[in-house]
Amino acid sequence: MYSNIVDFIKQTYQKDKVILHEPTFIGNEKKYVNECIDTTFVSSVGKFVDKFEDLTAEYTGAKKAIVCVNGTNALYLALLLVGVKQGDEIITQPLTFIATANSISYCNANPIFIDVDKETMGLSPKKLNEFLSKNTEIKNNACYNLKTRKKIAACVPMHTFGHPAKIDEIIDICNKYKIEVVEDAAESMGSTYKGKHTGTFGKLGILSFNGNKTITTGGGGMILTNDEELGKFAKHLTTQSKVPHPWEFNHDNIGYNYRMPNINAALGCAQIEKLDFFIEKKRLLATKYKEFFKNTSLQFFSEPENSFSNYWLNVVLLENREKRNEFLEFTNKNGVMTRPAWTLMNKLPMFQHCQTENIENAQWFEDRLVNIPSSVII
């Protein structure tokens, strides 16, 4: 039944076995990594760390970019930086990778799960506004949940599979309710909304450079901010809060060893030089998929209105969960790697107790969504 789809994907990639997303190394990766090794500065000190931060800030338009060891730690630290405290509540979406919810838990805070929009797969401004208007009050210049009596300190929208959420609307709503916004842009390096890079709308945003992302440092993440003082403090915290001195070891805050090694940053510098090329190729692939799937029973998910998507992982939607499972089984058995959406966060045992509103759209996606191969084709 799905053999024509498998054949099309294999012909497109000119491979008998096609994986979901693999990194592409066609630039200065070996040159920069070898240079890093030659200098012996392979750990958290070296010129490539600063260079990668500068290149990322320039590319995204953020005033400060701070490298971290991975996107999860970047998100956790960003939540601390906006003032999240133990016992607080954080609004996010149930359709997301586990790192989003885990980062909230690391703060000893609790997530509240609000539904996504069908046109973006990201947090729904309409559902967010409905929840806040019916279930919260503003007291002492902060937002409190009428049900739990706890402070709602932050909101973490996620730009799902690289497609931007309606982030400007989300921020307007959160500003009204005195809630800080931290963007989970882990999957959306190179994506823009209304001409502005994702991760730069909220007070802080984060990126991921895991091995399966559009560009990779092997493992790594980045905090983005337009608040230069906050950015400097973030950098200080990632380096164990060490007070600069030629030889003495003094520390003025509880800090974290979240520093990206120079050797990883060297890889990142080479990758970001090719980012525009990668996105051009990924968008070309998405165009081919969109045209092909017009003649099938599957629906290809295209970038939302006002968005420029990196199409990190391409998405097709099937009729129901049964059809989804049939497609997953057939493709994976026949040499084309596909995968479903993540299990919704509120269904996982550690988050089943969390407040969850009507999430019919997220459930709709979980029942139907499949990611198909999305690697760059040279």
CATH of the domain at 321: 3.90.1150.10
Query: Helix, strand, or coil here: 185?
Result: coil
Q: Is residue 24 part of a domain?
A: no
Indicate if 293 and 304 belong to the same structural domain: yes
Pairing of strands 136-139, 142-145: antiparallel
Query: Helix, strand, or coil here: 311?
Result: coil
Query: Helix, strand, or coil here: 145?
Result: strand
CATH of the domain at 121: 3.40.640.10
pLDDT in tens, 54-89: 999 999 999 999 999 999 999 999 999 999 999 999
Q: What pLDDT was estimated at residue 343?
A: 98
pLDDT in tens, 276-288: 999 999 999 999 9
Where is the domain boundary, 241, 274, 307?
Answer: 274
Longest dimension (CA), the chain: 68
Indicate if 268 and 284 belong to the same structural domain: no
Q: What pLDDT was estimated at residue 44?
A: 85
Where is the domain boundary, 218, 240, 274?
Answer: 274
Indicate if 261 and 157 belong to the same structural domain: yes
The long-range contacts involving 232-236, CB below 8 angstroms and separated by at least 24 positions, are 232/64, 233/81, 234/64, 234/66, 234/77, 234/78, 234/81, 234/204, 235/64, 235/66
Indicate if 218 and 314 belong to the same structural domain: no
CA distance 61 to 52: 14
Pairing of strands 196-197, 299-300: unpaired
- Specify the number of domains making up the chain: 2
Q: What pLDDT was estimated at residue 45?
A: 85
Q: What pLDDT was estimated at residue 304?
A: 97
CA distance 50 to 66: 9
Token duo for residue 325 = 């499972």
DSSP H helical ranges for the chain: 3-13, 29-39, 47-60, 71-81, 98-106, 125-135, 167-176, 228-238, 262-273, 275-293, 321-333, 360-368
pLDDT in tens, 320-345: 999 999 999 999 999 999 999 999 99
CB within 8 Å of 329: residues ≥ 6 apart: none
Query: Which 8-state DSSP code applies to residue 272?
Result: H
Indicate if 176 and 91 belong to the same structural domain: yes
Indicate if 206 and 75 belong to the same structural domain: yes
Query: Helix, strand, or coil here: 369?
Result: strand
Least Cα distance to 309 among 96, 189, 163, 157 occurs for 163
pLDDT in tens, 249-295: 999 999 999 999 999 999 999 999 999 999 999 999 999 999 999 99
Token duo for residue 302 = 């295209």
Indicate if 267 and 292 belong to the same structural domain: no
Q: Is residue 351 part of a domain?
A: no
CA distance 206 to 218: 17
Indicate if 87 and 174 belong to the same structural domain: yes
The 221-225 sheet, strands edge to edge = 64-68, 221-225, 204-208, 180-184, 152-156, 89-92, 110-113
Domain containing residue 280: 3-19+275-344+356-372
pLDDT in tens, 31-43: 999 999 999 999 9
Indicate if 79 and 165 belong to the same structural domain: yes
Q: What pLDDT was estimated at residue 94?
A: 98
Q: Summarize the confidence of residues 188-212 as an average pLDDT.
A: 97
Q: What pLDDT was estimated at residue 284?
A: 98
**pTM for the model:** 0.96
Where is the domain boundary, 228, 257, 274?
Answer: 274
pLDDT in tens, 117-158: 999 999 999 999 999 999 999 999 999 999 999 999 999 999
